[in-house]
Structure 1
C-alpha cells in the first residue's frame, strides 16, 4: 500500500451498526455478550465471554477504517487462507471469495480510535479490545441455514501491531456491498462514551437527508444495558439530552429538544451542510482537520 491513511470514516455492516452490541458499561465485572436481532431475511446473534463497550466499538471502527483503505486479502482456498478459514470459521455456501485482512500498527489504531495522546496504557487497552472482538462469535440464520464466524480473527500480533482477518459481513461492507458510513471525524470530536454510542446508533439508523422525531427515554436501550428506574432513569435522560445537543452542534446534524421528552433529529445531506448557521460552521472548525498519518 502506498500513500497515507486518513482516519475520517469507517464502513460498517448494517446489522452491527444498529444492534445494541456496543453499550456504555459500568466499571465492574463484564457480563457475557448475547444479543440477537433480525435484519432483512436473516437473524443475527452476537455472543461472547465479555460484553463489548464503547472502547471496543472505537477500536473496531478504527480497524474497519484502516481495512477499507488497504488492499490486503486472503484467498480462502490458499494455505494461509485455510488457516484464516479455521480462525474465522467461515461457513458460507458456494465458492468463497477473498477475506479482507487488516495490517495495522498499534499507533495507527490508537489515532483512528480517537485517543488524544499516545501512551502504553492506551496500547494495552487496545490490545485487550481487539482480543475481546476476536472472542465474539456471530451466528447468522438465513433461509433455515445457520452460519457461524468470529467478529474478527487475530492471525498474528506483536508489540508493533496486529494482522487480523475480518468476517464475511465486515468484508462485504468495506468492499461496498452494503454498508453504513460512520464519520470518525464527528465521533472523535464528541465528549464522552454515551454521546459516541448515540452518534453511532443514529448514523446507522438514519440516512442523510432524513428527519426523525424520537422519544428521548426510548434511546436509552441503545446506549446502556438493562432498564433503569428512578434517579438512574433521570440521570440517563439528562446524559442523552446533553449527547443530543453535542451531536446537534456537528455540521451534519440538527437536534432540537421538544416538549414532553421528545427530540427532532435531522441528518443533513453533505451538499446542504453549508446552509447551516454560523454557529455550526464554527463547530466544524473546532473539530479541525482529520488527522492524516503516513503508512
Structure 2
C-alpha cells in the first residue's frame, strides 16, 4: 500500500527535557517486561518525577510517543481548537480530560489534543504496510503509554512539598479508524514553549538496532 504523502525530511520533535533525560524508556525482553516504576530527579533537587504503570515502557513505546509529539506539533499550528480544556464541548474532549486527570484535584492545566488514525501512526512509525498485524502492536504500545501515571513532586526552599498527578497520555476512539489523543501537560508545554529538547525522528528511524535508538 502506498503510504504517502511524504513527511518532512528532518522531522524534528520538541520533547520535554526532564522526561527525555529520565530512564522512562528502556530495553526489555518481551517475555520479561516488569512493571513500570521509574523515578528521576533533575539537578537542583526541587523536582522529582515518578512514573508508574502496569507495564514498563520500551523502545517501541518511545518511538510511538515521538510520533504522537510530531502530530501534536502539526495540529498545534493548523487547528483552532488544539487545546483541551475542562469545558470541551466535544464528547471526545470530555472523555480525554477525564482520562488524563482521573484522580487529580485542584488546578488541571490545559493541554494539547489531536485526532489521528492507526493508518497514520503506522505510516509515521516507518511501517511499510497497514493491516491487523501492524495495528495490533500499535494498540498495545499506545495502551501502555496511556497507563503510565506521572507523579510530579516539588520541594520549596522551606522544605514543603506539593504533588501533581496525571497520565502521560490519554486516548479515546471516535470510530474503528479514528482516535483522539491528549498529551501530558509537560509534553504539551515543550511544544508550545521554548523549553524543549530537539529529537530528530527521521534519524532515529534510520538506526538499525534498538540499542542505537
TM-score by length of structure 1 reads 0.60
Partner in structure 2 of residue 9 of structure 1 = 12
Paired residues for 1:272-283 under 5 Å: none
- The counterpart of 1:172, out of the listed 167, 189, 195, is 189
Cα gap change, 1:129/1:157 in structure 2, threshold over 3 Å: closer, same or farther?
A: farther
Partner in structure 2 of residue 27 of structure 1 = 30
Q: Distance in 2 between the 1:108 and 1:138 partners? A: 27
**RMSD over aligned Cα atoms:** 2.4
Partner in structure 1 of residue 85 of structure 2 = 75
Q: Which secondary structure does the structure 1 equivalent of 2:67 belong to?
A: helix
Matched-pair contact (CA < 8 Å) for 2:109–2:185: no
Partner in structure 2 of residue 66 of structure 1 = 71
Cα gap change, 1:121/1:9 in structure 2, threshold over 3 Å: closer, same or farther?
A: farther
Q: Distance in 1 between the 2:175 and 2:211 partners? A: 32
Matched-pair contact (CA < 8 Å) for 1:5–1:69: no
Q: Distance in 1 between the 2:53 and 2:174 partners? A: 21
Matched-pair contact (CA < 8 Å) for 1:112–1:184: no
Partner in structure 2 of residue 155 of structure 1 = 172
Matched-pair contact (CA < 8 Å) for 1:58–1:114: no
Unaligned runs of 5+ in 2: 77-81, 156-160
Q: Which secondary structure does the structure 2 equivalent of 1:11 belong to?
A: strand
Q: Which secondary structure does the structure 1 equivalent of 2:70 belong to?
A: helix
Partner in structure 2 of residue 36 of structure 1 = 39
Question: How far off is 1:157 after superposition?
Answer: 4.9
Alignment deviations for residues 201-257 of structure 1 (CA, whole Å, 9 cap, x no partner): xxxxxxxxxxxxxxxxxxxxxxxxxxxxxxxxxxxxxxxxxxxxxxxxxxxxxxxxx
Asked if 1:50 corresponds to 2:55, the answer is yes
Larger Rg: 1
Q: Which secondary structure does the structure 2 equivalent of 1:101 belong to?
A: strand
Q: Distance in 2 between the 1:92 and 1:179 partners? A: 27
Q: Which has the higher contact order (CA 8 A, sep 6+)?
A: 2
Question: How far off is 1:162 after superposition?
Answer: 1.7
Unaligned runs of 5+ in 1: 197-295
Q: Distance in 1 between the 2:196 and 2:64 partners? A: 18
TM-score by length of structure 2 reads 0.81
Question: How far off is 1:173 after superposition?
Answer: 1.0
